[in-house]
Chain A
């Protein structure tokens, strides 16, 4: 059974600092991995999707890396802003259709 762990559970940084969020998964036989953002009381917004054959994906200030063999992904957010405050969720999809989610990392960026 796939287990997804996100460390740390919460993170508080001053504005401008780079953020590093970690995700690990127990079964490396994945099809893809997604990073989502969840704002309080809102739904999830997909940030990046990395296919199993890729090592990283970039979108603006966001960069996600994937090391499938070691079961790890890292989300980097450069030059953080208060608007980046949210919960970031990692989800992996094995070869069936079911996404397995981590519990998330709650980020607070202080102005």
Chain B
């Protein structure tokens, strides 16, 4: 499968714990995005990378959230000191260039107890 892959698909954690999600984009795509989706809502933009550079962050991305894309390939999204409000689906997407469609992964669902 050469699509966008995300790991883990599901994560259940207790409040206050740290969690990390990984995204492997389509191999030739230099643009990578993270979105968050809560129940009944559309996805919301979190952050954007072009190669290894994080070029834009949403104000939704509090200081407990950090995203990296160290070699311009895979990316990680870490949430520190999780809160119940962090429970959501975290979606990763990649694209080849400006103006090209985004390809989304199937998401990582986080449940914070």
Q: A and B from one assembly?
A: no
